[in-house]
Structure 1
């Protein structure tokens, strides 16, 4: 599937079906500004770089920022700004046309928490919503009017709850795509800020 060189790192999420569900369904127009939260290996941002030149990525995992930098360099991509930090803290006063996030959506018991930085990619807390809800609390402040949020989550982490929250916030939200796996559906939620 990937038509990019993808280096991996044991401490960084390896692109999987959820990554490509987002990458294959990007709604980005030329010239739009894009923010990807939790870029990991950078794979989604690399696909985005074919659609626009104004891309910023963040990750709470410093190893991910370094791996993304390496992947961008090896693929000759120079138009992506990489910022190390949690969610929106490193883009405090900025707004974007498109915000992308493959969320850490797995419901995680205390004894399932991993000790290394890879944990950030998976750990959604007990109900899978720990990071999703923090993201939803702030996303409206960083999205331009007419913009779109594209986020990946799991049926295990409450798609209806996310759609309801987005609706309350004035977005028009829908499940735009999904893939079924053994015990869950991985879903792409598109939310339009009108």
Structure 2
């Protein structure tokens, strides 16, 4: 795996085990178009840039967009389009071969919501599925036939529910990898659009 210069920002998610679980398992072929939702520091997109040169990233956190741009520049990566906005809003009528998303999967009580933009990286709502379900409802409209979704979530936010929903949407989905932490499993779900 290539080593990158990674600048960080207090308002942007710092790459952690979940970031690398996704980065280490990318299923991207040359010339495929890739969309990463919630790019954060840009780390996953930087790994993706070694595999294809058609990459678009979005983030709802403007600080993240600026940080990702800085990280791409410092690593000499010029083939990534950065768009500011929530989920698929910035790519309304576009489709991609691969869609990546390290979701905000933590179940969050009202008292745990942070006032800063960093909150977007974690806050999954009461059941951890607030953003995951919005993503799943739209993802099919932005994926080419034969495309793949690779998403990270936690056992705390209902892996079975995600697999069932993907199945209902016509995907073939599986837990492709996982890492166990103190009280949860962080899982990588791969879903193929057939």
Q: Do these two structures clear the TM 0.5 threshold for a shared fold by scoring above it?
A: yes
Match of 2:140 in 1: 140
* Residue-by-residue CA offset, 1:108-130 (whole Å, 9 max, x unaligned): 00000000000000000000000
Match of 2:182 in 1: 182
Match of 1:38 in 2: 38
- 5+ residue gaps, structure 2: none
Match of 1:90 in 2: 90
Q: How many residues align?
A: 194
Where do 1:59-78 residues align within 5 Å?
59-78=59-78
Match of 1:127 in 2: 127
2:64 and 2:2 mapped to 1: Cα distance? Answer: 18
2:19 and 2:177 mapped to 1: Cα distance? Answer: 13
Shift of 1:2: 6.8
Shift of 1:147: 0.1
SS of the equivalent of 1:73 reads helix
1:10 and 1:53 mapped to 2: Cα distance? Answer: 29
Match of 2:57 in 1: 57
What stretches of structure 1 move > 3 A for 4+ residues in a row?
none
In the superposition, the TM-score normalised over structure 2's length comes to 0.99
In the superposition, the TM-score normalised over structure 1's length comes to 0.99
Aligned 8 A contact 2:2 2:47 in 1: no
Matched, 1:25 2:17: no
SS of the equivalent of 2:86 reads coil
2:169 and 2:30 mapped to 1: Cα distance? Answer: 27
Match of 2:104 in 1: 104
1:97 and 1:74 mapped to 2: Cα distance? Answer: 27
1:52 and 1:89 mapped to 2: Cα distance? Answer: 23
- 5+ residue gaps, structure 1: none
Match of 1:169 in 2: 169
* Residue-by-residue CA offset, 1:28-50 (whole Å, 9 max, x unaligned): 00000000000000000000000
Aligned 8 A contact 2:103 2:151 in 1: yes
